[in-house]
Amino acid sequence: MADKEKIFIFDTTLRDGEQSPGASMNIQEKFRLARQLAKLGVDIIEAGFPVASKGDFDCVKNIADNLGGGVQVAGLARCNKKDIDAAWDALKNGVNPRIHTFLATSEIHMKHKLRMSPEQVLELAVESVRYAASLTPNVEFSAEDASRSDLDFVCKVFTAVIDAGATTLNFPDTTGYALPDEFAAKIAYLMENIPNIDRAVLSVHCHNDLGLAVANSLAAVKAGARQVECTVNGLGERAGNTAMEELVMAIRTRSDLVDVRTGIDTRHIYPTSRLVSNITGMPVQPNKAIVGANAFAHESGIHQDGVLKERTTYEIMNPEDIGLSKGNIVLGKHSGRHALRDRIESMGYRLTDEELNRVFERFKELADVKKEMFDEDLEAILLDEVVRIPQVYELVTLGVMSGSRVMPTAGVRMRIEGEEVEAAALGIGPIDAAFRAIARLTGTRSRLLFFSVNSITGGTDAQGEVMVRVEENGRVVVGQGADPDIITAAAKSYLNALNRLEYLKKAEKSR
């Protein structure tokens, strides 16, 4: 593999992925994910769109200033000086910072959105790239809606922006319209008709509206593209983007036909997928390729028999290659801090002493309740204790009464900024009653948009994992909670969402 040509992985989970409805992240969550992406081995992290808001600017700057390592950090900018200046101000302290500027080139976009002629688009693209290149030698130019653009015009624009200083050219399938053979032919045409293409890397950015983002990206790679823009779990606008994990494992698994390699450490794929899912509140569907719960499950007796005799009869990948551990009991209630730290580090986490103490305390509480401790149980604790925000609202105790002939009732005692308060409420069910009591105590005017409950592991003593999406005055946040008691997990998830709302409100007031 080492002698194969490398494909650069440009991860835009923090930018395009965050544009999935309800998938917004705060500054701590974005930095935590950026560190995990760097550990995964992505080459470029598109950290956000700095000019879009002060919050986005601060997130990009925080990552560029503090991430370190060899990964490049990119910021998106439209083709104008204000956007480019904002991107550079956020990125300039990073390692080899990249300004990613874009302008539409399709007739429909130029006519109806930009209201510019092709000549004006060409002039603005060159002017913007030249200005960006005066700030950093690492400039990417994207021709928005390129797959529906006149290819000769795209070649003309790409040739000119290379001369102006662009070192990466991105050819997006912005609307997910292309088919693989068609897309490969377009990439081949670009490679043959841009005279100075040897001075730049050709990139693709595919959307999944027809379910073909990964297929189109692979076709483009075979035709000469050497950078792919993608997201973890395929997050992104509408139907999402090229799923990083699918692209990488396709290249790895079919190395006999795809004569390239990536720099991804695939053992971090599954932990990264779980982190993205928990931070964004976007569950991974069970039958999702590579990282879905059923990706390595075998129900058919014929399949089970074959796998038991020889794994490769029905598995084309080894679960351990993506960081999916099949081990069962690894720790128990008698385990100490040293054993816990070792297990956590083997899962890809690095904790401070303070974080370890918090996790250890929660681990002991859970181990007293559960007979078996799984990696997924530890991960739920880690995500709650490490990726945390200031706790305005804390659950102290929760009691419910429910049954087929009983009006569901919940009594909640909680701590609000250090002061203990309590309330009771009736509801349609015990979770509804608990939510009503919490709403009464917090005075929230928020609306519950989404509620999801899953079992983290098997068994009747499994932890329940609840995700909620809550909206208040246009702010949409995600909350997560995990507990062996599903009603408690639901209450924790609701409080987690309310804490995130409070965090956003205070952050907005401080700007």
347-399: per-residue pLDDT in tens? 667 788 888 888 888 888 777 776 666 776 777 777 666 666 678 999 999 99
Sorted by sequence, the CB contacts under 8 Å of residue 379 that are 6+ apart come out as 271, 274, 347
> Residue 327 pLDDT more than 50?
no
**Do residues 289 and 246 touch, judged by C-beta distance below 8 A?**
yes
**Do residues 217 and 204 touch, judged by C-beta distance below 8 A?**
yes
Q: At what angle do helices 151-164 and 180-193 cross, to 10 degrees?
A: 50
Strand partners, 390: none
**Do residues 450 and 477 touch, judged by C-beta distance below 8 A?**
no
CATH 3.30.160.270 location in the chain: 393-509
Higher-pLDDT residue of 454 and 255 is 255
* Least confident segment among 48-52, 272-276, 326-330, 463-467: 326-330
pLDDT, position 364: 82
pLDDT, position 58: 94
Tokens of 305: 């028999």
**Do residues 104 and 145 touch, judged by C-beta distance below 8 A?**
yes
| Mean of pLDDT over the chain | 88
| Distance of alpha carbon 91 from alpha carbon 345, whole angstroms | 30
**Do residues 455 and 435 touch, judged by C-beta distance below 8 A?**
no
CATH 3.20.20.70 location in the chain: 5-280
> Residue 104 pLDDT more than 90?
yes
* Least confident segment among 90-94, 100-104, 470-474, 506-510: 506-510
CATH no. for 5-280: 3.20.20.70
| Distance of alpha carbon 163 from alpha carbon 110, whole angstroms | 23
Q: Of 217, 249, 245, whose CA–CA distance to 316 is shortest?
A: 249
Sorted by sequence, the CB contacts under 8 Å of residue 488 that are 6+ apart come out as 395, 398, 481
When pLDDT is averaged across residues 118-143 and rounded to a whole number, the result is: 98
Tell me which DSSP letter residue 312 carries.
G
Sorted by sequence, the CB contacts under 8 Å of residue 112 that are 6+ apart come out as none
Question: What's the fold here for domain 393-509?
Answer: Double Stranded RNA Binding Domain (3.30.160)
When pLDDT is averaged across residues 311-324 and rounded to a whole number, the result is: 78
Tokens of 22: 């309800």
